[in-house]
Structure 1
């Protein structure tokens, strides 16, 4: 599904290159559930943002569904991302002024899905996530776990091929966290959604079918052995 070849990300400081990612190569197959682990500053979130096309590498090659992402213009990259990728963030990133219904609907508006179809898709999603009774509430009226559920519903509404999750349980208590991870596992197993998550949690990482360890911007092959 996607292939990263010799990806580096660095910033120039004086005459030196400060590497955030250094020569990282990863292949991820459709239907995989991959966990990326590593200490703070190891480059996990940068790697996720490059996979999600929110950031560009300084060097290297990125292929998504056989398209050369590194050669695409920003507009083309943005279209590819919106069509294929759903993001779930630690901080939820819900829009405070919008109801649960409207938050979930947002990606469909960007994709120019017509109103009647949008409403039907959101209704189905609310039903699936057992949130019909919460559809007119605003994010501030929800618990952290409920907000993250809305975030996941929003990420899934446009049926992406790939879900990217950045510390998806970071702001939740352990029970809420377990529920979210079980939901990801079910989505991967039953809906065949490919999932890549960044996590500090060994327990959460174990939900993945494979764990990639990063250290100082490189893949730590000793930990991955």
Structure 2
């Protein structure tokens, strides 16, 4: 049984004062083109839960998706998209930083990276910041279907080596929203963090 099939949009937030009360939640972050919306749709096994835009940087709020009583998956604004005005990028950064720093119900952060371009400078910046905050991190290499199996395994090994050296404790996996590679592994990780019973595994 997929515990995230009932996933539903709850609210968008642009101010910390508007955050919903929660027991536990997991945040999903990454560059603007890392595939956050596609991953959310794959988790829920529905095509239109989250809007997949061809224009990166469309998510400009913190979006909450309910996955049970008091439990949320949280879609953070993407970072690193140059066409967004600097003032707006700064506002997003301040909002996300404050959220990650102060949200008591935040059980962990999933960092999405395109498997073809992992560990870009902004990814490292977020990883190091999260390590200082003490929040557990699970790194996901998305769009694995764009690589051959051999390329994907090489990328996974190289990324694992770099994380072990610079960000020990960060877990890592491959994922494809198209083929659902790694979907079960990700569901188990999220269900564990959210303390959802009757999860697979």
What range describes the TM-score normalised by the shorter chain of this pair?
0.3 to 0.5
Larger Rg computed on CA atoms: 1
TM-score, normalised relative to structure 1: 0.33
The structure with higher relative contact order (CA 8 Å, sep 6+) is 1
User: Which protein has the bigger strand share?
Assistant: 1
TM-score, normalised relative to structure 2: 0.36
